Amino acid sequence: MPRPPSSRTAFPLLTTQSTARETLPLEDGVMEVEWRRSPRARRVTLRIDPAAGAVVVTLPPRAGRSQGIALLRAHSSWVAERLAALSPRVPFADGALVPLLGRPYAIRHCPGEVGGVWLEGEEIHVSGEAAFVPRRVTAWLREHARAEIAPRATIHAGRIGRRVARISIKDQRSRWASCAPDGTLAFSWRLVLTPSWVLDYVIAHEVAHLAEMNHGPRFWAAVAHLTPHTEAAKGWLAAHGPRLLRYG
Ligand SMILES: [Zn+2]
């Protein structure tokens, strides 16, 4: 039986803070492994990256690849289970269901039409070549996110006597939203895939940071003043948030 190609020789050199990816055959199946080298890490760690559908192995400065492999082997079944439990990826293509503010819309590719992307009933229509559908849908969702978020942020800010300097729509995968000291609020476009009340909580949370740049009691009082959905929305994001990273 031919051996799987040696991942050792194919393994790219890891320099400081670099990332490398490979597919490794382990006892519990073939796994996508992402290697990271971190100068701040103190020990070898494993975590699941839902967006990448991979297990991330972080190595501290002096740890070798073999230590990462040893940890992977020791936790092989845990990693395999967690990877298998990830929701399937949903590429933006004809027929895919995209939850818009939590309600499912089907992408309908209309190559013969013009007009970019538009809503029709419970469908997201996309004109142009099939190859451009993912990019067009993503750009449209970003704009849709901005159109949903900006007015709500302005209203919430007014209620606590603050002003939003700027709204920035991003695709940060490590967090849903953030507030900069200059009053810029940043949001992931993927939040437009959450139910309206979840989105409302995230907006209220960031707007409250315009008054309190911390997570102290006064901050949470401000959030509670703006939205009644805090606990439920936190629960929703913990349960369903990783799934949102599988779209596109
Ligand atoms: Zn916060």
pLDDT in tens, 31-88: 889 999 998 999 999 999 888 889 999 999 989 999 999 999 999 889 988 888 888 8
Ligand 1 geometric centre to CA of 192 (Å):
19
Asked whether the predicted pLDDT for residue 7 surpasses 60, the reply is no
* Residue 2 covered by a domain: no
Residues 65 and 179 in one domain: no
Ligand 1 geometric centre to CA of 177 (Å):
8
* Residue 91 covered by a domain: no
* Residue 157 covered by a domain: yes
Ligand 1 geometric centre to CA of 48 (Å):
23
Ligand 1 geometric centre to CA of 84 (Å):
31
pLDDT band at 129 (very low <50, low <70, confident <90, very high): very high
CB 11 within 8 A of CB 37: no
pLDDT band at 18 (very low <50, low <70, confident <90, very high): low
pLDDT of 85-105, one tens digit each?
A: 888 889 999 999 999 999 999
Choosing from 53, 85, 117, the residue where a domain stops is 85
Ligand 1 geometric centre to CA of 195 (Å):
20
CA 244, distance to chain mean position in Å, is 6
Give the residue numbers spanning the domain of 157.
Answer: 97-244
Ligand 1 geometric centre to CA of 216 (Å):
10
Q: What number of residues does the chain have?
A: 248
Ligand 1 geometric centre to CA of 219 (Å):
9
pLDDT at 97: 96
Number of domains in the chain: 2
Residues 109 and 195 in one domain: yes
Residues 113 and 72 in one domain: no
Q: At what angle do helices 65-74 and 76-85 cross, to 10 degrees?
A: 70
Span 125-136, average pLDDT: 95
133: left (phi over 0), alpha (psi -120 to 50) or beta: alpha
pLDDT at 208: 97
Ligand 1 geometric centre to CA of 234 (Å):
12
Residues 27 and 147 in one domain: no
SS3 189: helix
Asked whether the predicted pLDDT for residue 5 surpasses 50, the reply is no
Ligand 1 geometric centre to CA of 214 (Å):
7
* Residue 90 covered by a domain: no
Choosing from 85, 111, 146, the residue where a domain stops is 85
SS3 10: helix
Ligand 1 geometric centre to CA of 5 (Å):
46
pLDDT band at 172 (very low <50, low <70, confident <90, very high): confident
Ligand 1 geometric centre to CA of 189 (Å):
17
Instruction: Kindly report the pTM of this predicted structure.
Output: 0.77
Q: What is the CATH number of the domain that holds 227?
A: 3.30.2010.10
In sequence order, what E strands does the chain have? 19-26, 29-37, 45-49, 54-59, 97-100, 103-110, 117-120, 123-127, 166-170, 177-179, 184-188
